Amino acid sequence: MSTQLRRTVAAALFLVVAGLIRAPVEQKMTATLRQDGLLQPPLDVATTKKLGQGFWAVSLGGLRTLVGTILSLRAQTFFEKYYWEGVADTYDTIVQLVPDSEFYWDTGAWHLSKNAVSYYRNNYEHLPADRVHAEQKYWFGRGIDFLEEGLKHHPDSARLWHQLGVRYSEPFSFQKNYRRAAHAFRMASQSPRALPYMRRFVAYCMVRDPDQIDDALPYVEELRHEPGGSVPTLVCVHFTLLMRQDPSRDGLPLAERMFGSDREAYQQLGRHFLDLDDDYPMNGVAETLRALEEKLGVPEAKSVFNAREFLQRQRFSDLMEENPDRDGMALARSMFGGPDEAYRQLSRYFLDHRGQYIVKGVTETLRRLEERLSVPEEKSVFSNLAPLAPSNP
């Protein structure tokens, strides 16, 4: 064997041995750097295919953040065109590239669970009603899943926990769960970057959850002594919990003491009474409002009870339009308290609109109520609907 060949073989063997010695050390160092967040994990095959030729620039040049920013502009274009699959797919890629940025997790979830859902809520004329409901439910669920995945990467993020709490507790939530919402807000409140009102949000969810409301009063009383403890919603919730604790209590002097005056009590409890979307407890509110109206001399035409009835009728129609498969009789029972009151309210709604622009679910519920109450045909709301006056040519 020539001298040159022996040198070549020796060099090759040296490189092989050196590589074998270095490999475990470098692998351990790489794992440590990734665990400490100083080195990004390798891209998976799916993300690599999505990036195409840009994969090499990202992998070899460390340009993940830049590519993530560029892709967010693409997602904005998809959003403006209402192409929700494109939005979702793009944000899936972005968070693969830049998982450490909670901004992209938050924004992606917002697009899916808010913007996509709102689109189908407000642009439903060209789709069947059941398809509209299914699309809203689907995109809301994808937004929730996206947020929860983001929290695996950012378990201490007040921003993401707050958004998850909002999704579980907002009026039009497709996964309403006040227990999960309370947990999410509690996690947000424990973050170093928590906003001061997060603890109040925990209380608002506790009082709306049948399994937690019994434990809510001590927590609410603690909050009442903290900064922001006199905000109207918290005071109203405190009032209802005290009335729930002792239903025989006279609410009028309690309201005067808690709100400072009869007029302020009527204003704040009235607003609380008209809030039909948030499921807050109403213990003692109606009785106290009637006593306040009598004391303040509020005319019947301006009574808060008339306003509440109007909102209840409108709310019933909105809920039936939102979900055509909903059981109208069960909803009427829960909202109006009984078949007689439900028929009175929905008949008035039907006649106020003169039978025009009435949601199908309202009409069907009225017919079922008439059958349940054995309303004679001559007294039916459908028979007594006055004909519309002819319009001028």
For residue range 150-204, what is the model confidence (pLDDT) as tens digits?
999 999 999 999 999 999 999 888 999 999 999 999 999 998 888 889 999 999 9
pLDDT at 90 (0 to 100): 95
Averaged pLDDT of the chain: 84
For residue range 77-134, what is the model confidence (pLDDT) as tens digits?
999 999 999 999 999 999 998 898 999 999 999 999 999 999 998 877 778 878 888 8
315: confidence class by pLDDT, cuts 50, 70, 90 = confident
Predicted TM-score (pTM) of this structure: 0.77
Contacts of 110 (CB under 8 A, 6+ apart): 143, 163
Q: Report the chain's terminal Cα–Cα distance, integer Å.
A: 112
Residue count (the chain):
393
Cα 336 to the center of its chain, rounded Å: 25
Is residue 174 a contact partner of residue 136, using CB atoms and an 8 Å limit?
A: yes
* DSSP assignment of 164-201: HHHHHHSTT-TT--HHHHHHHHHHHHTSTT--TTHHHH
pLDDT at position 383 over 60:
yes
pLDDT at 195 (0 to 100): 85
Alpha-helical segments (H) within 3-83: 3-35, 45-51, 54-61, 64-80
pLDDT at 8 (0 to 100): 61
Mean pLDDT, range 318-326, rounded to an integer: 80
Q: What is the dihedral of CA 360, 366, 370, 371, to 10 degrees?
A: 40
326: confidence class by pLDDT, cuts 50, 70, 90 = confident
Mean pLDDT, range 317-330, rounded to an integer: 84
Say which residue, 105 or 351, is predicted with more confidence.
105
pLDDT at 360 (0 to 100): 76
Is residue 167 a contact partner of residue 161, using CB atoms and an 8 Å limit?
A: no
pLDDT at 47 (0 to 100): 46
- Coil, strand or helix at 216: helix
For residue range 28-41, what is the model confidence (pLDDT) as tens digits?
544 554 455 443 45
pLDDT at 39 (0 to 100): 39
pLDDT at position 10 over 50:
yes
Residue 78 phi/psi, 5° resolution?
A: -60, -40
For residue range 233-282, what is the model confidence (pLDDT) as tens digits?
999 999 999 999 999 999 999 999 999 999 999 999 999 999 988 899 99
